[in-house]
Amino acid sequence: MKLADARAALREARHVAVLTGAGVSAESGIPTFRDAQTGHWARFRPEDLASPGAYFRDPALVWEWYAGRYRDVTRAQPNGGHALLTQLEREKGDGFFLATQNVDGLHTRAGSGAAGGQLVELHGNLTTARCEVCDWTADLPAPDHFTPPPSCPDCGGRMRPNVVWFGEDLPETALAAAATAFAGADVALIIGTSGVVYPAAGLAAEALRRGAVAIEVNPVETNISWQMTFAVRDVASRGLAALLGQEP
Ligand SMILES: [Zn+2]
């Protein structure tokens, strides 16, 4: 398949399912999980901060780390890749589905999920917290007014970061929605994710099995490249601009 064919497939698709990963956030300056371990935090492994065991042992430490990441993502801005996905959602309406592995909330800030289609955050969102007692989810206060840990506005219980930790399952409803969307997609887009992290490979494979065109956007080859119909070897913003026939 050539770029012109991929473009045509995307233009004519009624149902588009998208999966995004860290590569989309990288252009906004959001460091990957491991790259975020600098300075004081360099001596911790992510597993020592982002796991139920770590939180049980030292909730204050884990919250301090998340508060720092929350400040970082609040300062960051959505980039051209986020904006083009919102534009695509506007074009496809309820035929558009976006699942992201990113927890920075940048897709939401760029308008995804509010332009006629659906957005699910498979790994949660670190700009929100979830009650340990009653499961209530709430936005964190602005970084300047935020002292962790937050208390539940509903029951007063302690709240935890609303992200999926090592050793925890992905949210079932979000996963089920993604599986349904990819199974029914005419075009599946896999953007900025290595394919190692579950469930990227499975979603792409299911879309292909049902006859979809699967397009990867990634500057480097990944574990799932071999099964793709077409690949754009570029960063998300430029790769999407090429697929949508626009100047980045
Ligand atoms: Zn509560």
pLDDT at 34 (0 to 100):
65
Q: Are residues 184 and 237 in the same domain?
A: yes
Residues 53, 42 within the same domain? yes
Q: What are phi and psi of 128, to 5 degrees?
A: -130, 165
pLDDT reading at 225 higher than 80: yes
CA of 149 to the centre of ligand 1 (A): 13
Residue stretches of the annotated binding site for NAD(+): 101-104, 192-194, 218-220, 236
Domain span at residue 14 reads 3-30+78-123+170-243
- 119 and 190 belong to one structural domain: yes
What are the two backbone dihedrals, phi and then psi, of residue 167, each rounded to the nearest 5 degrees? 90, -5
Average pLDDT, whole number, for the chain?
93
SS3 214: strand
What is the CA(65)–ligand 1 centre distance, in A? Answer: 22
CA of 218 to the centre of ligand 1 (A): 40
Q: What is the mean pLDDT of residues 143-159?
A: 94
Percent of the chain with pLDDT over 90: 83
**Average pLDDT of 217-242?**
95
Q: What is the CATH number of the domain that holds 216?
A: 3.40.50.1220
Identify whether residues 113 and 181 lie together within a single domain.
yes
Length of the chain: 248
Same-domain status, 188 and 237: yes
Same domain, 111 and 178: yes
**Helix H or strand E encompassing 17:** strand 16-20
Q: Does position 33 have pLDDT exceeding 70, yes or no?
A: no
156 and 59 in a common domain: yes
> Which tokens in the block code for residue 135?
């499961």
Mean pLDDT of 172-191: 96
| CB-neighbour burial class of residue 143 (10 A; exposed 0-12, middle 13-18, buried 19+) | middle
Catalytic residue among 15, 82, 107, 123: 123
| Mean pLDDT score, 179-208 | 89
Q: Is 123 a catalytic residue?
A: yes
Name the residue with tokens 């558009």.
96
> pLDDT digit string (tens) for 85-133?
999 999 999 999 999 999 999 999 999 999 999 999 999 999 999 999 9
Residue 177 lies in a domain: yes
CA distance 220 to 217: 9
pLDDT at 56: 95
Predicted pLDDT at 48: 86
Is residue 248 domain-resident?
Answer: no
Q: How far apart are CA 159 and CA 213, in angstroms?
A: 42
Same domain, 85 and 48: no
Same domain, 204 and 112: yes
For residues 209 and 203, the answer to whether their CB atoms sit within 8 Å is no
Rounded to whole angstroms, how far apart are CA atoms 92 and 139? 29
**Does the pLDDT at position 248 exceed 70?**
no
The residues whose Cβ lies within 5 A of ligand 1, an ion, are: 131, 133-134, 136, 152, 154-155, 157
In a domain, 180, yes or no: yes
Handedness of CA 92, 247, 104, 175 (dihedral sign): positive
Task: Count CB atoms within 10 A of the CB of residue 189.
Answer: 28
Q: What is the pLDDT of residues 47-84, one digit of tens each?
A: 889 999 999 999 999 999 999 999 999 999 999 999 99
Binding-site sequence positions for Zn(2+): 131, 134, 152, 155
Report the pLDDT value the prediction gives residue 247, as an integer from 0 to 100: 66
Q: Is the pLDDT of residue 227 over 70?
A: yes
Cite the annotated binding site for substrate by residue number.
66, 69
Q: Which of 7, 4, 19 is nearest to 206 (CA)?
A: 19
pLDDT in tens, 213-222: 999 999 999 9
pLDDT (mean) for 191-212: 85
**Euclidean distance between CA atoms 95 and 100, whole angstroms:** 17
pTM assigned to the model: 0.94
| Ligand 1 centroid, distance to 138 Cα (angstroms) | 10
Give distance in angstroms: CA of 133 to centre of ligand 1.
5
Question: What pLDDT, on a 0 to 100 scale, did the predictor assign at position 38?
Answer: 73
Same domain, 175 and 235: yes
Helix axis angle for 236-243 and 80-92, nearest 10°, is 30
- Judged against a pLDDT cut of 80, whether residue 17 lies above it is answered with yes
207 and 154 assigned to the same domain: no
Distance CA(191)–CA(23), nearest Å, equals 7
